[in-house]
Amino acid sequence: MTTLPPGPTGPLPRFPANFLWGVSTSAHQIEGAAADDGRGPSSWDAFAAEPGRIKDGSNASVACDHYRRYPEDVALLKELGVGAYRFSVSWSRVLPEGAGAVNKAGLDFYDRLVDALCEAGVRPVPTLFHWDTPLALERAGGWLERDTAHRFAEYAEVVAARLGDRVGRWITLNEPAELTLLGHALGEHAPGRRLLFDALPVAHHQLLAHGLAVEVLRDRGSGSIGIANSHGPTWAASESAGDRAAADFYDLLLNRLFADPLLLGTYPEGIAELLPGPVEDDLRLISQPLDWYGVNYYQPTRVGAPDPSVPADFAGITIPPELPFSVHRVDGFPRTAFDWPVVPPALLELLVGFKERYGDRLPPVVVTENGCSYEGLDDQDRIRFLDGHLRALHDAMDEGVDVRGYFVWSLLDNWEWAEGYAQRFGLVHVDFDTLERTPKASFGWLRDALRAQR
């Protein structure tokens, strides 16, 4: 693993006084207590039970045991000094069948968590859906079915009714691109379908669910609603016409397919006719104004025309040869333990490019995830990663991008989906045998950096 070069010395540049600093987690990755309070199974429970799906053969039935240890984790948030905590609500913990009877014990957990956060002076920022589809809905077709979007709206109503008096900021969905592309097109994530372009309805139904949930939250009086979309710059492998066309297509799949409907009220050319339902009517729901737009950024991608000489494995994902592009290694940069390139200037490129593409249709931006996997407690590489990306973020603000907040992924080492427990993204080390929490060097660095911003 290549280490990062020495980072800039001295304090971070000054961010606005009202800038929102936070950290993020997700329910399935940290909560554990898989069925202790009546939570129903999710798509990820079923996926992890299939042999060979998870690289280390593990599951998230215990994970970080946040369900029982949340007071300890809230205390860590208070010590860190962040203003907000982005967590997700497990749909199947609230509605074990995905619809119908409410699990009061599940809602009680989130009620306790929100109360603890408020008492600690940390703003709760719930994400309503972070990939863990209730298994009962998945078996009925899941996100391939339009009905799932309507069941999601009902779920949003249940959660908002219970937590809305203390929650001022909501996120509807996390990374619909990954659920579509990794979960349904390539089969690398739950539910493990390999539909390639027949997965497009999954994208549309998630965006429709977002629009329906926005209506619910607005009716409940929420004045701050966003979404957390994954985005990254797409770089052509060369200046050839074939490579540029392939990169444009990949950019459409990762970025424009999920941003254009929300921000412009349209799908990229040629997409709408491939989607089911009254698409134009749906787009009016999908494109309701957002109070802010969440961006999850990790890395850029280099893309070229189909090329059998390019390895099919990309970041542990196999790229099928029938796709109209190849994904190339981004060389010339340090790499994380996950073998992802570390390119802080690409965050600047992404945000400035969004501002240029969407203009005044782009609401204020919040970076809802940014982080890296490294081993060890003295994680100087993570410190340099965060330092570099925060400086790039500040540069984007200097270039006119209205950025209102930044959330580190993640507070805790966790169960990293198909990687199992192999990758550590946390500011806090978790011993997965004893569940002991130990703040890393990056935790102390961020704590001190936030104090210096006051």
Catalytic residue among 175, 178, 188, 416: 175
Does pLDDT of 115 surpass 50?
yes
Question: 313 falls in which pLDDT band (50, 70, 90)?
Answer: confident
Cα distance from N-terminal residue to C-terminal residue, the chain: 36
Catalytic residue among 138, 157, 369, 416: 369
The CATH number of the domain where 443 resides is what?
A: 3.20.20.80
Span 254-271, mean pLDDT? 98
Respond yes or no: is residue 119 known to be catalytic: no
Examine residue 160 and state whether it is found in any structural domain, yes or no.
yes
Structural domain boundaries, residue 414:
20-252+289-453
Query: What pLDDT, on the 0 to 100 scale, is given for residue 241?
Result: 98
Examine residue 45 and state whether it is found in any structural domain, yes or no.
yes
Query: What pLDDT, on the 0 to 100 scale, is given for residue 317?
Result: 87
Query: For residue 115, what are the CA distances in angstroms to 65, 149, 171, 191?
Result: 19, 29, 19, 33
Does pLDDT of 7 surpass 60?
no
Least confident range of 4-13, 171-180, 224-233: 4-13
Question: 8 falls in which pLDDT band (50, 70, 90)?
Answer: low
Question: 1 falls in which pLDDT band (50, 70, 90)?
Answer: very low
Examine residue 314 and state whether it is found in any structural domain, yes or no.
yes
What one-character DSSP code corresponds to residue 336?
-
Query: What pLDDT, on the 0 to 100 scale, is given for residue 245?
Result: 98
Dihedral pair phi/psi, residue 446, rounded to 5°:
-65, -40
Residue bearing the bigger pLDDT, 5 or 250: 250
Q: Which residues pair with 405 in a beta bridge?
A: 20, 366
Question: 2 falls in which pLDDT band (50, 70, 90)?
Answer: very low
Q: Which residues pair with 42 in a beta bridge?
A: 134
Query: What pLDDT, on the 0 to 100 scale, is given for residue 413?
Result: 98
Does pLDDT of 380 surpass 70?
yes
Examine residue 25 and state whether it is found in any structural domain, yes or no.
yes
Does pLDDT of 142 surpass 90?
yes
Domain count, the chain: 1
**Cβ neighbours, 10 Å, residue 188:** 18
Examine residue 278 and state whether it is found in any structural domain, yes or no.
no
Examine residue 409 and state whether it is found in any structural domain, yes or no.
yes
Span 249-267, mean pLDDT? 98
Q: Which string of b and e fits 1-31 if b means at least 16 CB within 10 Å?
A: eeebeebeeeebeebeeebbbbbbbbbbbbb
Distance separating alpha carbons of residues 354 and 236, to the nearest angstrom = 18
Dihedral pair phi/psi, residue 176, rounded to 5°:
-60, -25
Query: What pLDDT, on the 0 to 100 scale, is given for residue 328?
Result: 96
Residue 167: name the closest of 207, 211, 206, 128 by CA: 128
Give pLDDT tens digits for 49-73. 999 999 999 999 999 999 999 999 9
Give pLDDT tens digits for 180-219. 999 999 999 999 999 999 999 999 999 999 999 999 999 9
Report the chain's mean pLDDT, rounded to a whole number: 96
Q: Is 235 helix (H, G, I), strand (E, B) or coil?
A: strand
Examine residue 268 and state whether it is found in any structural domain, yes or no.
no
Query: What pLDDT, on the 0 to 100 scale, is given for residue 185?
Result: 98
Examine residue 280 and state whether it is found in any structural domain, yes or no.
no
Query: What pLDDT, on the 0 to 100 scale, is given for residue 191?
Result: 98
Query: What pLDDT, on the 0 to 100 scale, is given for residue 314?
Result: 81
Question: 3 falls in which pLDDT band (50, 70, 90)?
Answer: very low
Distance separating alpha carbons of residues 434 and 399, to the nearest angstrom = 47
Query: For residue 164, what are the CA distances in angstroms to 111, 167, 170, 222, 239?
Result: 10, 5, 9, 8, 51
Query: What pLDDT, on the 0 to 100 scale, is given for residue 4?
Result: 47
